[in-house]
Amino acid sequence: MTDSRERRILAEDIDALAAGQHPDPFAVLGPHPVGEALCIRAFLPGAASVEAVSDAGRVLALQALRDGVFEGQADAGFLSRMTGYRLRIQWPGGQQETEDPYSFGLLLPEEDLVLLSRGCHERADECLGSHCVEVDGVPGVRFAVWAPNARRVSVVGNFNAWDGRRHPMRLRHAAGVWELFVPRLQHGEPYKYELVGADGTLLPQKADPYARQAEPAPATASIVADPEPFRWTDDGWMAGRAGRHAPDAPISVYEVHVGSWLRREDGSTLNWHELSDRLIPYVRDMGFTHIELMPIMEYPFGGSWGYQPLGLFAPTARYGSPRDFAAFVDRCHGAGLGVILDWVPAHFPTDGHGLARFDGTALYEYEDPREGFHQDWNTYIYNLGRNEVRNFVMASGLAWLRRYHIDGLRVDAVASMLYRDYSRGEGEWIPNCYGGRENLESISFLRELNERVRQQVPGAMMIAEESTAWPGVTAPVAEGGLGFHYKWNMGWMHDTLRYLREDPLYRRYHHHDMTFGLVYAYSEKFMLPLSHDEVVHGKGSLIGKMPGDRWQRFANLRAYFGFMWSHPGKKLLFMGGEMAQEREWNHDRQLDWDVLADPLHAGVQHLVRDLNRAYVGLRALHKRDADPAGFRWVVGDDDRNSVYAFLRSDGERYVLAVCNMTPVPRQGYQVGVPTGGWWREVVNTDAADYGGSGMGNGGGAEARHGPFHGLPHSLVLTLPPLSTLLLEPEG
């Protein structure tokens, strides 16, 4: 190839490079044999001069052609290997010396690209995204991003003055993946991708979908994460956690919005280290077994509470670094607490720097808004029928469980994933290939995800927030189910709260609201949720839902908690409920901790602590949570008195729960029991310590012999007003 021919071709390429439109920068930049010689080219707009310095110390001055393109020719012996040189660049502000990104060969192995295209890569997040690596002995950062329809993709950051022309990437055509190695770049660097769409339009700069760290909001850049692995100290916890998550284990979850649980005196949010010192001891003292964090995957808008995330692999920078978050989880495990994350695989926000029309096309979302847009939430819907999207979302869920030792994922908005007509009217949705309303792609995704979690992360829990009667949510995939471990019992929550809102005078007409949950209690493995959803958007607080005067409202809530903690099913309570916060939750304010100076509020907190300890300590209250043999109605039809009584059993021991849901004390109320002897009053929600009247049974009652309610013995009890009693036989 002659110089003139080389110059003629290069002249055509210079225009494309200068315009940021070159389709294949590796074809012209970097080292290229020219006959017996070697041509080295670089595109460095703004540079005053450039030299190529070989590993042997030889120097080749590159000639400035035009528009930032530099070229030099050396003899074939100038380099011992194609990557064996550095560029010495004289910028107006100083000198830089670094290896040439365009001297390095292909980065991602072909087998990884094949797996990514098929949607079956076990660790997609270790291929795509930014990773500190060594290539040919040179340290730097490897960038890789899926954008099959883009004309050009560049990585931009401080290292190139955010100039998208400077570091255009190489396209691996078969997979639609763009890659580039930037030598000497280190972790902590902010970056984005700049894309030119298929139509030639320059798109808004995009955050990295696979980034493991991001800038603190409202900034939107991704950050090259520290590659140093976190040193975990939770081997004991991880080895034994499967037993802690089994259907026969006590699971009581404290749901937390990290930014508003507690704040500093100046109103700023606590970081993970501060939360470790404050939140963990509190939750442990309260007797909860797990902390559930509302979504902490990076999200742009604080008012979404994390439910519109864009950084599905990055803990939000609001509370510290990824390492800080890992340390928080490690501290939780050291304190005997599991950590559950709220995770959102159903939809993503429309922010321009995010996934929306990522390469100028509907890449992560469906093209048709009847499939791809949630009108309720102004969000896009993941196209889980696309292999690469499926791989992306699945990799996110698995990454949190593996990388951060998370003990469970609460999967948000499962119902919206299962039904194509979710919250849509006639003509606003597209049926599946069989003409039905089921979203077959999402169903397949959820089944595969749950199977992979069981196989790859044994002991971790998958919890479905599913608000319909979809059958088999917690049934094994092999039996046609979705394969979740637990399902939020939204029906139980709605029914019981509706009952509690009624004036006790009229509760007799709504008696079934408290009993109906037992009709289907064993159709799934349930968790009973009193979540954040019930204390926002004008719904008020839990205590605010209770009727009557102030004393009665607190008594109602205490009785309800007693009923909930004795009812079959795992427990979840949103922060603030444990102290009967009267104000509706506001994500911009901390909880009203000062209310604990009031004995009624402090009493509710004391009760929740004691209920958790009873729930964990009494096997009868949890051992058969998912087994109908562990429950028996004793009094389920006394609507006239609004009294409920039932037995919980582990097969050997019993706990009797008796609820009086009126403010009228019931003297001499007879209840059948299975065994004789003394029945100890374990919990009385009307106890003076809890803010109640102190009415009760003097610590227990002696069983009378003789059949009653179909049982061989009975107790004659005093039922305090608006109360729940828990009793167990001694011995």
Tally of helices (H runs) and strands (E runs) in the chain: 14, 36
Closest CA to 325 of 400, 249, 253, 390: 400
CB-based contact 69:17 (threshold 8 Å): yes
The rounded Cα 41 to chain-centroid distance in angstroms is: 46
Q: Among 13, 51, 342, 412, which one carries the catalytic annotation?
A: 412
412 is catalytic: yes
- 218: preceding bond cis by omega (within 30 degrees): yes
Single-letter code of the amino acid located at 646: F
First CA to last CA distance, the chain: 98
Alpha-carbon distance 397 to 701, whole Å?
A: 51
Q: Which helix (H) or strand (E) is 132 found in, with range?
A: strand 129-135
What Cα–Cα distance (Å) separates residue 375 from each residue in 227, 276, 426? 39, 38, 14
Q: Among 330, 465, 466, 650, which one carries the catalytic annotation?
A: 465
CB count within 10 Å of CB 88 equals 18
Report the alpha-carbon angle 25-28-34, nearest 5. 160
Alpha-carbon distance 687 to 697, whole Å?
A: 11
CB count within 10 Å of CB 544 equals 15
Single-letter code of the amino acid located at 98: T
Alpha-carbon distance 162 to 155, whole Å?
A: 8
Alpha-carbon distance 567 to 86, whole Å?
A: 70
Q: What is the CA radius of gyration of the chain?
A: 31
Alpha-carbon distance 497 to 491, whole Å?
A: 10
DSSP secondary structure of 170-239: EEETTTTEEEEEEET--TT-EEEEEEE-TTSPBPPPB--TT-S-BPPTT---EEPPP-SPP----HHHHH
Kindly list the catalytic residues: 412, 465
